């Protein structure tokens, strides 16, 4: 259960989740290049850590002290997590972790050990395959939410779909996708952001060079979430410890 103000709610019953504010005064940072190689993309959070993928490797950075880091091995291009539980996954197809532009289909999620990045636990088969994903360098999107993950096949362009995965059952819902043109691209197949649910509506949060914005899935309406002086080439972000579970 999740408890706030003396009231506890079962995680499965939660329906609303949104980002309110990024407190820059609370930031801690660490340089990843020595652990991962040049920036690439692929990012997820667990209860205790941030995992980031560079050109050479994926590394794990401790939330309490990001300078405490370990290299986990070959790059994991399909990282994503459940913001409700901190469970870590890689997108996959036919038993193989998703690898950039080398596969146009996602049919399962493989649970990963949050300490080692190794496969751990039974594969979550999806009710329908996700795709086709582009091979031509057009970016897709990966969005972590509470008990759900969303994959958008293309950020913009005429042919794009949004697939929302229930992480408990593997059920997938396909809907028309909003235009996310303008999101800062990563140096890989996708950008990483957040799947919000506000008053029953799904929203996708993406990074731009100087702001975070949310876009409503139903009609493409975009709202400013927060302005910044300069986010540089930030193209992937996620939240950690969204829920304090008892």
pLDDT tens digit sequence for 95-150 = 999 998 889 999 999 999 999 999 999 999 999 999 999 888 889 999 999 999 99
- Residues 26 and 115: their CA atoms lie apart, in Å, by 25
Q: pLDDT tier at 192 (50, 70, 90 boundaries)?
A: very high
Q: pLDDT tier at 154 (50, 70, 90 boundaries)?
A: very high
Looking at residue 28, its pLDDT comes to 85
Output the pTM of the full model. 0.93
- pLDDT surpasses 70 at 11: no
**Overall average pLDDT of the 207-227 stretch:** 97
Greater confidence (11 vs 27) lies with 27
Greater confidence (41 vs 183) lies with 183
Token code pair at residue 172: 């997938």
Looking at residue 246, its pLDDT comes to 41
3-state secondary structure 191-206: EEEEEEEECCEEEEEE
pLDDT > 70 fraction of the chain, expressed in percent and rounded: 92
Helix/strand/coil percent split, the chain, to 5: 5, 45, 50
Share the mean pLDDT of the chain.
Answer: 92
Using only C-alpha atoms, the chain has a radius of gyration, in whole angstroms, of 17
- pLDDT surpasses 80 at 12: no
166 class by beta-carbon count within 10 Å (0-12 exposed, 13-18 middle, 19+ buried): middle
pLDDT per residue over 73-95, tens digit each? 999 999 999 999 999 999 999 99
Looking at residue 163, its pLDDT comes to 98
For the ranges 28-32, 88-92, 160-164, the lowest mean pLDDT is seen at: 28-32
Looking at residue 10, its pLDDT comes to 67
**Overall average pLDDT of the 159-164 stretch:** 95
**Overall average pLDDT of the 57-84 stretch:** 94
Looking at residue 3, its pLDDT comes to 62
Q: pLDDT tier at 9 (50, 70, 90 boundaries)?
A: low
3-state secondary structure of 119: strand
Looking at residue 165, its pLDDT comes to 98
- Residues 163 and 173: their CA atoms lie apart, in Å, by 6
């Amino acid at each position: 259960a999740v408890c706030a103000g003396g009231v506890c709610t079962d995680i499965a019953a939660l329906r609303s989740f949104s980002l309110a504010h990024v407190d820059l005064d609370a930031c801690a940072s660490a340089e990843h290049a020595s652990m991962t190689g040049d920036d690439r993309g692929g990012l997820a959070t667990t209860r205790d850590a941030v995992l980031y993928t560079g050109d050479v490797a994926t590394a794990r950075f401790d939330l309490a002290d990001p300078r405490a880091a370990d290299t986990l091995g070959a790059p994991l291009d399909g990282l994503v997590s459940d913001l409700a539980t901190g469970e870590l996954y890689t997108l996959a197809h036919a038993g193989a972790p998703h690898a950039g532009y080398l596969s146009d289909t996602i049919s399962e999620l493989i649970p990963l050990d949050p300490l080692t990045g190794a496969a751990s636990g039974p594969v979550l088969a999806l009710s329908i395959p996700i795709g086709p994903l582009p091979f031509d360098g057009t970016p897709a999107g990966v969005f972590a939410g509470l008990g759900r993950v969303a994959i958008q096949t293309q950020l913009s362009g005429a042919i794009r779909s949004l697939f929302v995965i229930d992480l408990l059952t593997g059920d997938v819902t396909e809907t028309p996708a909003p235009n996310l043109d303008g999101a800062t691209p990563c140096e890989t197949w996708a950008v990483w952001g957040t799947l919000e649910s506000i008053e029953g509506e799904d929203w996708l949060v993406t990074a731009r060079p100087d702001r975070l914005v949310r876009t409503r899935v139903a009609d493409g309406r975009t709202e400013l979430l927060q302005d910044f002086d300069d986010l540089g080439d930030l193209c992937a972000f996620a939240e950690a410890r969204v829920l304090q579970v008892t």
